[in-house]
Structure 1
Amino acid sequence: MAYQTFRQEYLQVPPVTRAYTTACVLTTAAVQLELITPFQLYFNPELIFKHFQVWRLITNYLFFGPVGFNFLFNMIFLYRYCRMLEEGSFRGRTADFVFMFLFGGFLMTIFGLFVNLVFLGQAFTIMLVYVWSRRNPYVRMNFFGLLIFQAPFLPWVLMGFSLLLGNSIIVDLLGIAVGHIYFFLEDVFPNQPGGGRLLRTPSVLKAIFDTPEDDPNYNPLPEERPGGFAWGEGQRLGG
């Protein structure tokens, strides 16, 4: 019974969120079981471009460190905000969501050539948080019961939290920068005088990922629910 319930809940998670979070968990499990090592996964331009270890372009986004607070923190934020984007502003637009993944991953890989980061998954999570926060500007957030602020400040609060923990803020700044570039090109520039859409999802992605009908049994997670322990509770202003 428990297995059936878990399977049903798992299959209700939208496909991109399900695939990415599952890949992250399985990669971490494989490292914990010593089936693979982080040295086989990390981002190394020389090994990628000179020795053709191209899998590193993907695997460096799948490992968030050993199981612990940092891993759980990242998995919660990755799952929640990835799912809320996919079930919110990307509802019925799976191809566009996949294209955002590819575009964000491409930019981060380019920037990764100039910064000393060997795993880019945390920055990718911040990118997802940034895009969600800018598309939900009136959601009021509660961070550990200490701070109450509107959603667009969330990435910056997380950066301050990382700083307090003694972590490098380069990761957060990279995620914010890539998230802002995507948000500007997709949401801001097309609505400016003389502006237009510069990001267009390739038709091949639409043919693969977009389906004409919604699953009637699909149970979406409300986008305005930015959950995740006490630091992610929120509600719309005036609600």
Structure 2
Amino acid sequence: MPSNIAQMGDENPIKAWYNGLPPITRIWWTLAFLFANLVYFGTLDVTYLIWDQHAVFSKFQIWRFFTSFCFVGTWGQQGFGTLISLYLLQQYGKSLENNCPNTGGGGTVADYLVLILFCMLAHIIITVFVASRFVMGTSLMFTTLYIWCKMNFEVEVKLWGFPMKAAVFPFALMGLHLATGADVWSDIYGLAVGHLYYFLQEIYPTMYGKDIIHTPNFVITLCHRLKIGGGYVNPSAPAAASRGVPPPGRVRPPTGGGYDWGGGGRSLGST
């Protein structure tokens, strides 16, 4: 038996699964799992993780910009919900990061990093100006789930064994949360931010021929230097093109077909 096959067979399946997570999803999932355990065992006070507007802007506790998105719950009475959130985070975070829309980085981790940062900023704006929230981890998780479902609307997924199209999966999940008394507002905010990203990245360029969301070159350069996700310094340069990296953005001429409210079929207003 070849040595590499033997090594694959001997590898711990949990280690193989963890190493198979793309970089951003791996960091996010690790922090969520770590915080769940630290809070449960009393090692870390959850008040140091949650969003606190006064602490952020008056005491400059800037880590809350990130930790409030990395806490999805703890164990005990919340344990089942936390377990489901961790599963959905790794499942759809991984799928979206591995097939991220190209906004300038060729669909690499650089584009996914911009996606996550954009959605985090949108959630913070909602928290500051619309509805005050302390933790936004499950909302951001739902955002990534919604974006993946919009991009893969015809893919069949299952919810507790019931098959359905990805297009309806977020709404079915919201219905389940509503029926079980879970925080459905977290899903609603996640859906709103996800659709905002999808509109600006997919619909707006189709309607007006202009891209709104761009991955800055310094983000692509950073990913390239850190050797994560296949980032390239300049995806539009000939050297990058020779690697098969698409040009930045997806600027397309207006189609004049109205707004496409779903995943397929005719556009609203078409004949």
TM-score calculated relative to the size of structure 2: 0.72
Misfit runs of 4+, over 6 Å: none
Give the equivalent residue in structure 1 for 2:244: none
Q: 1:4 offset after TM fit, Å? A: 4.9
Q: Secondary structure at the match of 1:60?
A: helix
Is 1:201 the counterpart of 2:247 in the alignment? Answer: no
Q: Secondary structure at the match of 2:157?
A: strand
Q: Which amino acid aligns with 1:20?
A: W
1:131 alignment partner, one of 147, 170, 189: 147
Q: Which amino acid aligns with 1:202?
A: P
Is 1:70 the counterpart of 2:90 in the alignment? Answer: no
Report matched runs for 1:192-231 at 5 Å.
192=207, 194-210=208-224, 211=230
Q: 1:82 offset after TM fit, Å? A: 0.5
Give the equivalent residue in structure 2 for 1:53: 61
Q: Which amino acid aligns with 1:35?
A: T
Q: 1:26 offset after TM fit, Å? A: 1.1
1:93 alignment partner, one of 92, 108, 112: 108
Q: Secondary structure at the match of 1:177?
A: helix
Listed one character per residue, the Cα deviations across residues 177-221 of structure 1 (whole Å, up to 9, x for unaligned) are 0000001111111111x33101111111100114369xxxxxxxx
Taking every aligned residue pair, what percent have the same amino acid on both sides? 27
Q: Number of residues paired by the alignment?
A: 211
- Structure 2: gaps of 5 or more residues: 1-6, 225-229, 233-271
Q: Structure 1 residues 89, 58: CA separation in 2 closer, same or farther (over 3 Å shift)? A: closer
Give the equivalent residue in structure 1 for 2:193: 178
Q: 1:33 offset after TM fit, Å? A: 2.5
Q: Secondary structure at the match of 1:54?
A: coil
Q: Secondary structure at the match of 1:201?
A: coil
Q: How far apart, in 2, do the equivalents of 1:89 and 1:103 lie? A: 14
Residues 223 and 231 in structure 2, CA contact (< 8 A), matched pair in contact too:
no
Q: 1:8 offset after TM fit, Å? A: 4.0
2:179 alignment partner, one of 142, 157, 164: 164
Give the equivalent residue in structure 2 for 1:121: 137
Q: Secondary structure at the match of 1:64?
A: coil
Higher relative contact order (CA 8 A, sep 6+): 1
Q: How far apart, in 2, do the equivalents of 1:9 and 1:162 lie? A: 28
Q: Which amino acid aligns with 1:142?
A: K
Task: State the Cα RMSD in Å.
Answer: 2.1
1:42 alignment partner, one of 50, 56, 69: 50
Listed one character per residue, the Cα deviations across residues 96-152 of structure 1 (whole Å, up to 9, x for unaligned) are 000001000000011011213211001001101110000001112332234x43211
Largest Rg, 1 or 2: 2
Q: Which amino acid aligns with 1:200?
A: H
Residues 221 and 231 in structure 2, CA contact (< 8 A), matched pair in contact too:
no
Q: How far apart, in 1, do the equivalents of 2:194 and 2:203 lie? A: 13
Q: How far apart, in 1, do the equivalents of 2:108 and 2:67 lie? A: 25
TM-score calculated relative to the size of structure 1: 0.82
- Structure 1: gaps of 5 or more residues: 214-239
Report matched runs for 1:22-33 at 5 Å.
22-33=30-41
